[in-house]
Structures are given as C-alpha cells and as structure tokens.
Amino acid sequence: MATRNEKIGSKVAQMMAGADGVTVFQEGKDFGVGFTFSNTMVGKMKGVPGAEFDREGGHWRVPASSVEALMGAVEDMRDFSRNGGVQVKDLAGGAKLVIFDYNKAVSQIIGPVAGAEFKKDVGGWVVPGDSKALVAEQGQSSYFDLAINKMRGMVTEISQAHESIKNLAAEHAKGKNLKPGIHYPETDQSYTGPIINANGHYAAQLTGIEDQKGVMFLTIHEQAALGKEVLKGDDLRIDYRPDRSVQVRTTEVFRQQQAERQKLEQVAAEKMDGAKVFNASTKDNKHYVGDVVEMTDHFVLQKSNRDGFTIHDRSKLKGNVVKGENLDVKYENGVGKVHEKAKGKELAGAER
C-alpha cells in the first residue's frame, strides 16, 4: 500500500503534467505557477498559504509546505479555464454559483437571469434553485444555459483582446531592447505615462523604465474600468481609488490640478495658523457647511469646520458655487448637491 507521501508525490506529478491554462513547475524546493492574468485566478492563488507573485519572473511562487493547498487551487483554476472563464458550481437546493472576472458587458448577460444576484461572500452570482431560468423545455436549452454560453463567448473575445494587447506591449519593450515587465492596476495606486497600445477592451500604458535591470514597466488597463476610452498616444495619469472608482486625467491636467491644490493649501495657511486641509468625502450623507474661501478651475476651498478647510472637486458639485457665499453641500451617490445659502452664522464652518 502506498504511503501518504507517495500518494502526494503521485498527485504532484499529475498536477505538474497537467495543462488547461495553468502551468506548474519545480523551482528549487518550491513551486512556480504560471497562467494568463485573471482576477479570479489571482484570487484563487492568493488563497494558497505563502503564495507570492514574482514580478521579475512573471509567475507565482509557492512554498513546498503548501503543496496540498496548491493542488486544490490548481484543479479549481484549471476547471475555471476549461469552462472558458465562466465557472458554474452547484450549491445546495439546486442553486447555481457563477464565477467570472468582473466585466460590465458580461455582467449584463447574467443580470437579467431570473433571481440572479451577486453575492460578495461567495465571490460570484447566485441563481436560486427555484429560478424559472433553470427550467428547460423538452429539446431546448434553459435560459440559464443560453446565458452561460453567451457569457463564455464574450469572455473569449475579451481574452483574445487581452492577449493581443499584452503581446503588442511586450513587442514594444523588446523593440527598445528592454524586457517587458507587465503588471496590472491595484487599488489605491496611480499610474502615469503614455498609452502605447489600445484596442476595444484594453490599453497598455508605459509606466516606467528601470535602466539597471533593463526592464520596461507596462500596465494593462481594462477600458471598461476607466469610464472613458483611451487611445494610443494619450499621456495620462490614472488613479485607482480605495472606493474602486477610477479617475483618468491627462498629465497636463494632473499637473495643473497639483498646482491648484498647492495654491489652495497656501490660501488656507494664510487665513488660519496651523490650518488643516482635507479632501471632501463623497460618501452618502457627508455634509459640509461654510464659506467658500477660494475657487480654481477644478476645485473649491470651503471653511468647513473650526480649524480646517475642505477641498471639493468642482466636477462633483451640482449647483451654483460663488466665492464668499456660505454654502451647504451634501453628497449623495458621489455628487455634492449645493443647497441654498445656509441661514444664520451659527451654521457657518460646520462639518457633519
């Protein structure tokens, strides 16, 4: 009878011999794992204890101590890949869990399925077992099956566009005798540089060059996530905010906004010793009342509390803003609604 170690060794050999979009290889005592970028696949890898992405090598490294967790993750990832990037899992009561990389166009296909709802705790869309969409008439596919097939077709199209943009970006780097260092945006990070390649689904941005290592850093952005189409030659500053929203500006506008902010901070310092300057929070029900002290092309400086000032983004304000006026600004759905002038000086300089 085979020992436990022998059984594990046999399973490891099978894992390393497999394909289906996930490559596993030995790296000293540890393992290397390679696959085409996918947020879902990355999420599955992050669930493996000790798994880390090797930026220079362009693959994941997993310690030998996590081999059993790795085997489970790799099988799950390969199932995801075999199913065209749209994975369907059975849940209790006949319900279905649908997992795919978030994309607005793909989400619009699953959204109309009767009872379908995104559940953050399980990382996908859940269709209840009693959904009419799961019922198939004799000799016909169910509405659910038709939707899944359509989603897989859309994901294939997006995947091909991704491979194309990645290859074009890599060729651009090699044409400059540099190694391509391709990576993807992260929350609460900013990326500045020219767009060197773009198609309907993705854009590649040159975000830096490390001469000593001979590496050109290239960031691949999803066009749908940017909120506006970007084109080759655009010189941009792209900010991925903590709330998962994305701001896209030309570098010229970014520099202008930096100068405007510095000006407003200087004005605040001139108006009050030790003045504190904050950015307005756009969360629902955030409320600012106070005098408008200064305005620029892009921002409004408001005296919003006893010892501080608030900077509002003018593009997010709805209503008439006048320097010197006492205004009441309340945020809803990311928009600051400017209400009528606050009544009574007791309201001036209040933040709620």
* 11 falls within a domain: yes
Within-domain flag for 69? yes
- Whether residues 203 and 238 share a domain: the answer is yes
- Confidence at residue 345, expressed as pLDDT on a 0 to 100 scale: 43
Single residue among 23, 54, 82 that ends a domain in this structure: 82
* pLDDT, position 349: 47
Q: Do the domain assignments include residue 298? A: yes
Separation CA 76–CA 45 (nearest Å): 10
The whole domain housing 111 covers 86-156
Nearest by Cα to 40 from 118, 122, 123 = 123
Residues 306 and 332 in one domain: yes
Kindly state whether residues 9 and 68 are assigned to the same domain.
yes
CA–chain centroid gap for 276, Å, is 31
Are 189 and 150 members of one domain? no
Q: Based on the domain organization, do 342 and 273 belong to the same domain?
A: yes
How many Cα atoms sit within 13 Å of 302 on the Cβ side?
A: 30
pLDDT at 340: 64
**Shared-domain flag, residues 58 and 106:** no
Residue 47 lies in a domain: yes
Q: Which of 222, 257, 263 has the alpha carbon at shortest distance from 102?
A: 222
82, 114, 143 - which closes a domain: 82
For the four alpha carbons of 104, 108, 109 and 114, in that order, the dihedral sign comes to: positive
**Cβ atoms < 10 Å from Cβ of 320:** 10
Pair 15, 51 in one domain? yes
For the chain, list residues with pLDDT below 70: 1-2, 4-6, 340-352
As for how many domains the chain has, the answer is: 4
Which pLDDT score, from 0 to 100, does residue 253 have?
A: 86
Same domain, yes or no, for 235 and 299? no
Q: Are 177 and 215 in contact (CB under 8 A)?
A: no
In a domain, 278, yes or no: yes
Instruction: Report the CATH number that the domain containing residue 321 is assigned in CATH.
Output: 2.40.50.140
Which of 110, 127, 156 delimits the end of a domain? 156
In this structure, is residue 260 part of a structural domain? no
Q: What is the DSSP string of 295-331?
A: E-SSEEEEEEETTEEEEEEGGGEES---TT-EEEEEE
Conformational region of residue 115, where left means phi above 0, alpha means psi within -120 to 50, and beta covers everything else: left
Q: Is residue 32 part of a domain?
A: yes
Q: What type of residue sits at position 168?
A: L
140 with 208, same domain? no
| Each residue's pLDDT tens digit, 111-166 | 999 999 999 999 999 999 999 999 988 788 999 999 999 999 999 999 899 999 99
What local confidence, expressed as pLDDT, does residue 343 receive?
Answer: 46
Residues 99 and 63 in one domain: no
Yes or no: say if 336 and 282 are a contact pair by the CB < 8 Å rule: yes
Q: Domain for residue 258, yes or no? A: no
Instruction: Please indicate, yes or no, whether the overall pTM of this predicted structure exceeds 0.85.
Output: no
Q: Which pairing describes strands 317-318 and 335-339: parallel, antiparallel, or unpaired? A: parallel
- Same domain for 136 and 93, yes or no, is yes
Q: Supply the pLDDT for residue 137.
A: 83
Could you tell me how many helices (H) and strands (E) the chain has, helices first? 7, 22
pLDDT for residue 55: 81
- 217 and 152 within one domain: no
